[in-house]
Amino acid sequence: MEALRATNLKAYYGKAQVLHGIDLVAQPGTVTAILGRNGAGKTTLLQSVMGLGPRIEGEVTILGEPARGLTTDAIARLGVAYMPQDVRGFPKLSVRENIQVAASTVRSPRPLSEILEVLPEIEPKLDSPAGTLSGGQQQLVGIARSLSMRCQLLLMDEPTEGLMPRLVSQIGVVLRQLASEGVAIVIVEQNIGLMLDIGDVVHIVEKGVIKWRGTPQDVVSAHVLDHYMGVSPAETSQEA
């Protein structure tokens, strides 16, 4: 069963239309990459699926259930975790408590020991208030929170922003591992290199429309990056 299907999805902030009929399918066990310039509507797309923010039209189906009009809580209960761009969590709570809060929202959370196997960097920080961590470390805590929820659909908005290249690669490994467990990952990223590396399907959004979709190999051979993103393939290393 498809993890996510959005059909003719339109989103409006007041009278301003930001999404103009997006069709998007995410299959279990795959990484769906969403690329696009600033302001293209990528964050709005994730928020629309989650029932956050804009008014939407069109259909959203999550794991076979019609999801448009449901509250964000109800959407999360279908098995969806959303990691927003600003993933600060609860700054005064410890890292351990931040993970526990996320874990408490689901029936069978992933045990902390399993999370630490994938993200060993956070172990020494477990008892520190999350707000005292660096931006990059806070991103890792955000990913740990998502892992704890053992979701079937994971929506992530620029999870590698501010991370050192070594951690970026590690996030890539973690996401591929999650996908191999059957999770559908939909990820908005500025790090094109990472998306070409771990993505199964790449979508390019421009002005609220999906202008192009294909495999990472097609992205490179069809020269879509220079056309839509203004970057040459040589500029797409993970460190970019």
Interacting residue ranges for ligand ATP, rule: CB under 6 A: 13, 16, 18, 36, 38-44
Q: Do 32 and 187 touch, CB atoms closer than 8 A?
A: yes
- Smallest distance from the beta carbon of 53 to ligand ATP, in angstroms? 6
Q: In the complex with ligand ATP, which residue's Cβ is closer, 39 or 91? A: 39
Q: In the complex with ligand ATP, which residue's Cβ is closer, 42 or 150? A: 42
Q: In the complex with ligand ATP, which residue's Cβ is closer, 41 or 172? A: 41
- Smallest distance from the beta carbon of 215 to ligand ATP, in angstroms? 22
Q: In the complex with ligand ATP, which residue's Cβ is closer, 13 or 177? A: 13
- Smallest distance from the beta carbon of 54 to ligand ATP, in angstroms? 7
Q: How far is Cα 154 from Cα 184, in angstroms, rounded to an integer?
A: 6
Token pair belonging to 56: 């939407």
Q: In the complex with ligand ATP, which residue's Cβ is closer, 30 or 44? A: 44
- Smallest distance from the beta carbon of 185 to ligand ATP, in angstroms? 17
Q: Do 72 and 80 touch, CB atoms closer than 8 A?
A: no
- Smallest distance from the beta carbon of 40 to ligand ATP, in angstroms? 4
- Smallest distance from the beta carbon of 177 to ligand ATP, in angstroms? 26
Q: In the complex with ligand ATP, which residue's Cβ is closer, 37 or 176? A: 37
- Smallest distance from the beta carbon of 208 to ligand ATP, in angstroms? 7
Return the HEC string of the chain: CCCEEEEEEEEEECCEEEEEEEEEEECCCCEEEEEECCCCCHHHHHHHHCCCCCEEEEEEEECCEECCCCCHHHHHHCCEEEECCCCCCCCCCEHHHHHHHHHCCCCCCCCHHHHHHHCHHHHHHCCCEHHHCCHHHHHHHHHHHHHHCCCCEEEEECCCCCCCHHHHHHHHHHHHHHHHCCCEEEEECCCHHHHHHHCCEEEEEECCEEEEEECHHHHHHCCHHHHHHCCCHHHCCCCC
Q: Do 107 and 76 touch, CB atoms closer than 8 A?
A: no
Q: In the complex with ligand ATP, which residue's Cβ is closer, 41 or 79? A: 41
